Amino acid sequence: MQREKVRVKQLEQRNLQQQKILKRKNEEIAQAQRKLRGASLPRINSGNHDSMEEKKRQLDLEVEKILDQRQQLEELQKELQRKEDIISNKEAMLAEKSELEIKKLRSSQILNKDLMGLSAKLVSVEKTIETKKLEMIRASQDQEETVQKEIDKLKQVRTNLKEQLATLDEKLTDGCLLSNQEERRLIELEEAVEELDAAIEYKNKTIESRQMELRQSWFSVQREGGILSLFNTLNPQEMMLLLMKYFEKVINFRDNERKLSHKMNEFQSRIEEQDKLLHEAETHHQRASFDIDRRLTQQQQRYEQKIGVLMHQLAQFTENNEDANKEEPHVKIRSLEKELYYYKKTSRDLKKKLRDKENTSLCQSEDLGPKLVKSKEFPRCKSSTTNRNSVVSFSPTSQHNQELPSQQPELFCENNKTDQSGTKPVVATSLQFLDSLEVHSSG
């Protein structure tokens, strides 16, 4: 952008320099033309010069009159064109108005026909009612009811016909033959036509006044003789002087035209340069916008890729968690089932051993007597505790489950110590211990 600004400044400086050079050249050309004209013109005395100035002034006045006449003619043409436009609008509105009036007439004709038809129907209905009344007088009692019903229906039809006739009469009297919108449009058209008539009258007056002014100016020019009479009064030398002066005016007009064209070219060149700069700025803006769009698309793609990776990782993590959550209860259930199976098996084995011990103890008690039982009471308790501890020690459970059986042998021994008469209390306590162990394992 800085380069473009510097370039614009350089171009402006060049244009200013070129304009200064052109002004100097134009001044030099004008001076040379003046010198040439002064050398070519013949010398005249002061009297002739005054007469020439007077004639020149008269010619200028005649030219101004002709220009005024042309301007008046142009204005007159404009007024005529406006009048034609107003007349065309009036014709269009009159056509629309005539259509609405024709529609109104047709609707009035239709209403008249409807009125005639309804009145005829009403007359026929009244005649039928009278005939039915006569029939009812002549008819029997059974037929009177049917005739009366028919008469009531006919009366209802008569009332409906009268109501329709009344509504149609109101429409005809009020003139409501068209819709509200059409009636409003008809009123607007009538008002617009009146306004257009007033405008046409005003335009006619203005056109007539302008035509009168043009005629008067034309007659005045014709009476005075105009430019041709002035030319006839001039001698050849005066004609040459006037011709040279008007030729100078033409040259000046041409020079001004050339300057204006040169300025127009300069303005066009500036406009073209500005258009080029604008085009370059637009291309730069488009490139910048394309780069921004490309970067945004790349960033969006990266973002989508990152989101995809994160979603994939999240899905894997959730699957792993679900698998772990699914596997953990199954593993726990399997371990608990194994422990339960182990405790049930140990309880069965202990029950077997207790039954065997019970049988052996009964046999020994019958053979040896109470003395031998007392001597071997404590070793049996010790052996029973050792066996039970050996059985329970194979359990894979926690310390709480291991301590439970180890606490029971003391009770078993105490029961054996207290009961010296027989082995039944010992067996009962052992069975209770096994039942409690089984309940604990099942729980």
Q: What is the pLDDT of residues 12-30, one digit of tens each?
A: 777 777 777 777 767 777 7
Listed residues 233, 267, 295: the one ending a domain: 233
N residues, the chain: 443
- DSSP sequence for 113-167: HHHHHHHHHHHHHHHHHHHHHHHHHHS-HHHHHHHHHHHHHHHHHHHHHHHHHHH
Mean confidence (pLDDT) of the chain: 72
User: Are 248 and 302 contained in the same domain?
Assistant: yes
What is the percentage of the chain residues whose pLDDT exceeds 90? 1
Question: 114 and 187, same structural domain?
Answer: yes
pLDDT band of residue 407 (cuts 50, 70, 90) is: very low
Both 192 and 145 in a single domain? yes
Query: What pLDDT score does 367 carry?
Result: 62
Running DSSP on this structure, what letter comes out for residue 394? T
pLDDT at res. 50: 65
DSSP 41: S
Rounded CA-CA distance 393/402 in Å is 7
**Lowest mean pLDDT: which of 67-81, 272-286, 317-331?**
317-331
What one-letter code names the amino acid at 254?
Answer: R
Report the alpha-carbon distance of residue 127 to residue 136 in Å, rounded: 14
Of the pLDDT bands very low, low, confident and very high (cuts 50, 70, 90), residue 418 is very low
**Rounded percentage of the chain residues whose pLDDT exceeds 70:** 67
Number of domains in the chain: 2
Evaluate if residue 419 carries a pLDDT over 70: no
Q: Extract the tokens encoding 125.
A: 């209905």
Residues 81 and 215 in one domain: yes
Does 198 share its domain with 221? yes
Is there a single domain that holds both residue 109 and residue 70? yes
Average pLDDT in the 66-83 region?
A: 81
Query: Looking at this protein, which amino acid is placed at residue 66?
Result: I
Residue 280 lies in domain? 235-310
> Is 289 part of a structural domain of the chain?
yes
Domain end position, chosen among 291, 310, 329: 310
Residue type, 423: T
What tens digit of pLDDT does each residue of 291-345 get? 898 999 999 899 889 888 988 888 888 877 766 666 567 777 888 888 888 888 8
Among 166-170, 255-259, 379-383, the range scoring the smallest mean pLDDT is 379-383
> CA distances (Å), 250 to each of 49, 231, 253, in order?
21, 19, 5
Is there a single domain that holds both residue 209 and residue 305?
no
Same domain, 87 and 197: yes
Q: Give the residue from 47, 60, 42, 48 showing the smallest Cα distance to 230.
A: 60
Q: Three-state SS for 369?
A: coil
Average pLDDT over residues 78-97: 86
Q: Residue 33: pLDDT band by 50, 70, 90 thresholds?
A: low
> 300 or 61: which carries more pLDDT confidence?
300
Same domain, 175 and 164: yes
Residue 162 maps to a domain = yes
Amino acid at 327: E
The answer to whether the CB of 51 falls within 8 A of the CB of 240 is no
At 158 the pLDDT is 82
User: What H or E segment, with its residue span, contains residue 351?
Assistant: helix 236-368
Q: Is the pLDDT of residue 387 over 70?
A: no
Looking at the structure, tell me whether residues 149 and 255 fall in a common domain: no
179 with 111, same domain? yes
Q: Which of 262, 294, 310 is the last residue of a domain?
A: 310
Return the number of other C-beta atoms located less than 10 Å from residue 271's C-beta: 10
Number of neighbours of residue 132 by Cβ within 10 angstroms? 19
- CA nearest neighbour of 56 among 208, 296, 316, 239: 239
Joined together, the tokens standing for residue 215 give 């005629």
Token pair 């008539």 is found at: 197
